[in-house]
Structure 1
Amino acid sequence: MNACKLAAGVVFSQLLCAPVYALCSVVSTSPAAFGSVSSILVRTTSQSSSTLNAGLSCTGSLLTLLSTNDHFYLTVTSTTGGLVGPTGDVIGYTLYANNSSSYPVARSVQYDFARNGIIDALGLLGGTTPRTVPLYLGTLIGSNVAAGVYTETLSLAWSWNYCSGIGALGICLGRDIGSGNQTLTVNLTVTNDCAITKTDIAFGSAPVVSAFSAVSQTLNLACTKGSSYTVGLDDGKQPVSVGGRRRMIFGSNYLAYDIFKGTSAAVRWGSTGTARRSSSDAEVNPGLGTGTGSQIFSYYAKVYTDQTTPPAGIYADSVILDVAF
């Protein structure tokens, strides 16, 4: 449709015309996905995500100019108040109108994208190519949750009213007015993880193998809330091929030792089958992971005394600790 204004001059008469369009519409959204994040990072570090399409699409006009009377309102609502997981845990997050924390979009509160220059910065009305309004998201720190897929469906209510065309004399030639509703799906996958606190084993110095003292220490694991897991210790870098003893090395010489479950040399702690330890077998807080509190596993390490004392030197080994969920 063309809207025309007749401008009369002393000598000439000129018809000034400018097109006016129905420029904005509500369209299907693009989901916002945080991806897969470990439970520890979800609890300790804000995660970010975004969608390039929050449901409002506009085709601009080079003659459009927003004034204080124009608005692009968005009202976000939901029945859950955050991302909900398989056990009912909730991960809270904040919506933002741009890719910083300067313009939070509160739920159930009308937010005007025409203010703060956001619409102008998006170039939503500055050309003839359709553009969509993005939304940005950031999780709240402190969510101690179980592993699984977390989702929320947001209801988006858009409403706009603005001058869609400006004439040569700065007069509004028409307004684009409309409203509509859409939904936006947000999701995040929480993966199992553990924070492990350990102390290296130091047998100290001794002149003969029989003089080395045994070492009793603990491994502390804070694993994902609700997780069941096992802990394994591999055989080190140079185990004995027959009998499975672990060995420290210095040059071409070895010093055999081992690591056992609990507080005695009764059962060797290994990496496969029943040689592993389960979360229910912890000496402190046995059972499922809590996400924050540590489960403590005791172990006993000793140098074998039935071996020949090797040459003097600094003997060392490296053992891999693995957690399987």
Structure 2
Amino acid sequence: MWSTPFAVSPWRLRLMALAGLLVATFVWLGAPSSAQAAASCTASVSSVNLGSTLSPLTAGTVDATANLNFSCTGLGSLLSYSLCPNLDAGSGGSNGAGQRYMTGPGGATVAFQVYQDAARTQPWGSSALLVFGTVPTITASPGTGTTINVNQTVYLRLTTTTTTVPGAYSTSFVGQNFFWGLNLLTCAGVTIGYAVVPATFTFSATLIPDCTISTGNLNFGNVGVLSAAKDAQTGMSVTCTKDTPYAIGLDNGQQGTSATARRMKAAGQYVTYGIYKDEARASPWGTGAGLTTGGSGTGGAQPLTLYGRVPAQTTPSPGTYGDQVIATVTY
């Protein structure tokens, strides 16, 4: 009759001992949580304009830097804390393979990337979106105090091509989760912890319309008596940013009076000539309404031809006659 109570009592003792162990374990794990929860942390990333007068024809690669600040007060002293600042694609989106973009007029995009290193070889990653690579692990200790303040350089790169459409481009990062905690040896795969969300930050750039022009010399060669028309031609190349309308005008030269009455000079004497837009020499090329020629830029070189003609005229004294004509591209 007395055996049953004795059999139960040791089991109860074991349960009580186990319960005490669980309570002790819970208190040990909960202590850091209470200390960290008492901390006050902020994070921010500076917005950056990479340029407001960038030409797609010459910009190529444009580099800049931003600053990431992480600050905490009320921390436990002599402890090491880690920050895992995740960055997603941004509002400019990505190509699904880790290339971020800025977006511009009509949904046009330009390649953009955020990097961890000055050499710009290691993209800034996200633990939740592994396609962007690894997340940098930023570690700091308050020492004997209770405050940490960390500044980290963020490296930016914009990559334009000659076919990039001019306009204002940007990408914004909204609601980024910067996880932090005690002794996170690496941020790889970390999506838990204490989250601090920086205010929205934006990276932007403005690409401007641009054109370049080059032309060869119009050489009529050696001519004797000017009893018949003498023709010559030369090439011109114009390169304008994509979808940029342009018009090219030619002035009247140094002593001419119109597109068909330009004059080459030598020792106070002249040879009259004209420049035309067509091989038949029916459409004079000058300035003003109807005299210019134009098109829309592609980002690549577009060839044009200047057709010159020295009409029959009274032959001046022998000599080397010349003129200078200025070509102007308006866009």
Contact 1:90 1:143 in 2 (8 A): no
| TM-score normalised per structure 2 | 0.66
Contact 1:92–1:143 under 8 Å retained in 2: no
Deviations 1:86-127 (A, max 9, x none): 122110112122433243224644744446xxx79xxx99x9
Instruction: Decide whether the 8 Å contact of 1:91 with 1:143 is kept in 2.
Output: no
The residue type equivalent to 1:311 in the other structure is P
CA contact (8 A) 1:29 1:182 kept: no
User: Which position in structure 2 is the counterpart of 1:239?
Assistant: 255
The offset of 1:80, in angstroms, is 3.0
**Which is richer in helix?**
2
2:299 paired with 1:291: yes
3-state SS of 1:87 partner:
helix
Distance 1:77 1:102 in 2: 17
CA distance in 1, matches of 2:196, 2:118: 25
2:77 equivalent to 1:58? no
Larger radius of gyration: 2
- Give the structure 2 partner of residue 10 of structure 1: none
Q: Which amino acid aligns with 2:315?
A: T
Q: Secondary structure at the match of 2:46?
A: coil
In structure 1, the residue matched to 2:168 is 149
**Paired-residue identity, %:** 24
Deviation, structure 1 residue 151: 1.8
The total of aligned residue pairs comes to 270
**1:320 and 2:329 aligned:** no
Gaps of at least 5 residues in structure 2 are: 1-35, 94-100, 184-192
Q: Which amino acid in structure 1 is aligned with residue 210 of structure 2? A: D
Which deviations, in whole Å up to 9, do the C-alpha atoms of 1:226-275 show, x marking residues without a partner? 22221111122x12348872222334443322211111222221122221
Q: Could you give the per-residue CA deviations for residues 139-178 of structure 1, whole angstroms, max 9, x where no partner exists?
A: 2354622222112212343223357xxxxxxxxxxxx965
Residue 37 of structure 1: how far off its partner (Å): 1.3
1:309 aligns with 2:316: yes
Q: Which runs of 5+ in 1 are unaligned?
A: 1-19, 164-175, 280-287
Compared CA separation, residues 240 and 80, structure 1 to 2 (3 A): closer
Please give the root-mean-square deviation of Cα atoms over the aligned residues, in Å: 3.8
> 1:158: which partner in 2?
178
Specify the code of the residue in structure 1 equivalent to 2:123: P
* CA apart distance, 1:212: 7.1
Q: Secondary structure at the match of 1:133?
A: strand
Q: Is the 8 A contact 1:73 1:159 kept in 2?
A: yes
Query: Partner residue of 2:62?
Result: 47
- CA 242–299 in structure 1, closer or farther in 2 if over 3 Å, else same: closer
Matches of 2:41 and 2:265 in 1, distance apart?
73
Deviates more, 1:29-38 or 1:103-112: 103-112
Do 2:45 and 2:66's aligned partners in 1 also have CA atoms closer than 8 Å? Answer: no
Is this contact kept in 2: 1:222–1:289, CA < 8 A?
yes
The answer to whether the 8 Å contact 2:124/2:136 transfers is no
1:268 corresponds in structure 2 to: 284
State yes or no: 1:26 paired with 2:34: no
**Whole-Å separation in 2 of the counterparts to 1:244 and 1:70:** 76
Equivalents in 2 of 1:157, 1:210: separation in Å? Answer: 84
Match of 2:90 among 78, 86, 92: 78
Distance across 1 between alignment mates of 2:79 and 2:265: 75
Give the structure 1 partner of residue 197 of structure 2: 180
- 1:78, distance to aligned residue in structure 2 (A): 2.1
Maintained 8 Å contact 1:71/1:112? no
Q: For the residues of structure 2 that align with 1:249 and 1:239, how far apart are their CA atoms?
A: 8
In structure 2, C-alpha distance between the alignment counterparts of 1:185 and 1:28, rounded to whole Å = 9
2:279 and 2:179 map into 1 onto residues whose CA distance is 68
Q: Say which SS state the counterpart of residue 58 (structure 2) adopts.
A: helix
User: Is the 8 Å Cα contact of residues 204 and 212 (structure 1) preserved in structure 2?
Assistant: no
Matched AA of 1:317:
D
Partner-residue secondary structure (3-state), 1:298? strand
CA contact (8 A) 1:203 1:215 kept: yes
- Cα distance change, pair 250–159 in 1 and its aligned pair in 2 (3 A): farther
| Aligned partner (choices 266, 271, 279) of residue 250 of structure 1 | 266
